[in-house]
Amino acid sequence: MARLSGKAAIITGGAGGIGAATGEVFASEGAKVALVDIDAGALAEVAAHIRKQVPSAQVLEIARDVGREASAAAIVKETLDAFGRLDILVNNAGIRSYEPLDEAKAETWQKILSVNLLSYAYLAREALPALRQSGKGAMVNISSTHAYNPRAGMGQYDVAKAGIISLTKTLAFEEAERGVRVNAVCPGLTLTPFHVRRFAATGKTEHDLRTEKVDHNIQRRWADPKEVAWPILWLASDEASFMTASVIMADGGTRV
């Protein structure tokens, strides 16, 4: 069954691990997908992969910086121009910074908040008219387990992820009577290309990471990005019609 047949979706951070996996899963379930990312080259590679895996896929590539407020309206317009509708928004874009808060610079705060939090707010604002018109509009915001379990050294990132939870619930309360559901997913340890590249510098291969035992969660392993994409799919689908203002932990049982 194509759970998203006839629907159109925007997915930000579409050239990365979770965003790319979500794009492929959505396309396989019948959605028309607008993938958004600042990296045009990586975006083209992901779109080509999806078209190869799902020959019927309709994929729109939108290379824009979601950290710029003006991008939000342009992204929605390009999607509506291409697909004629918008039913689903997946806010997934994110960047990282490794700075303890007593050293955190204003420019780093601005970068992190503009991409990891404000882009979600701006895209929500611009997408809501079309989501309301859909009649069964759904928004899924990607936060993190670290919204609840912050760490030393990544305070800016974790603060933004906590903000996403509040944003999600507020939007859900505001939009319930207009027929738009808003939920969040908190991924745990997920083996994205970012982490593969990061650990390659230490001599670890992707195979090493996929097979090693970790202490981060009770399943003692990394998640594949598709294991996060599946709960995103469910929340975006009509099967989750009674779900709003909810947060799903896709984390393998993260240890506190």
Amino acid sitting at position 124 = A
| Alpha-carbon gap, residue 77 to 10, rounded angstroms | 11
Q: Where are the domains of the chain?
A: 8-188+225-246, 189-222
Give the confidence band of 194 by pLDDT, cuts at 50, 70, 90.
confident
161 labelled catalytic: yes
Instruction: Tell me which DSSP letter residue 67 carries.
Output: T
Question: pLDDT digits over 105-136, tens only?
Answer: 999 999 999 999 999 999 999 999 999 999 99
- The catalytically annotated residue of 143, 166, 204, 226 is 143
DSSP 141: E
What does pTM read for this prediction? 0.95
The pLDDT assigned to 201 comes to 86
pLDDT of residue 1: 63
Task: Quick: pLDDT tens for 204-213.
Answer: 898 988 989 9
User: Is the distance from CB of 99 to CB of 105 less than 8 angstroms?
Assistant: yes
Tokens of 219: 């399943």
Count how many Cα atoms sit within 13 Å of the Cα of residue 52 in the half-sphere of its side chain. Answer: 6
Architecture of the 8-188+225-246 domain:
3-Layer(aba) Sandwich (3.40)
The pLDDT confidence band at residue 196, using thresholds 50, 70 and 90, is: confident
Task: Please identify which of the residues 157, 204, 226, 241 carries the catalytic annotation.
Answer: 157
The token pair that represents 207 in the structure block: 């195979």
pLDDT band at 198 (very low <50, low <70, confident <90, very high): confident
In degrees to the nearest 10, what's the CA dihedral of 48, 239, 222, 147?
110
Apex 133 CA angle, 127 and 138, nearest 5: 55
Across the chain, mean pLDDT equals 96
Counting residues of the chain whose pLDDT is more than 70, the rounded percentage is 99
Q: Which residues pair with 249 in a beta bridge?
A: 186
Catalytic option among 119, 134, 161, 237 = 161
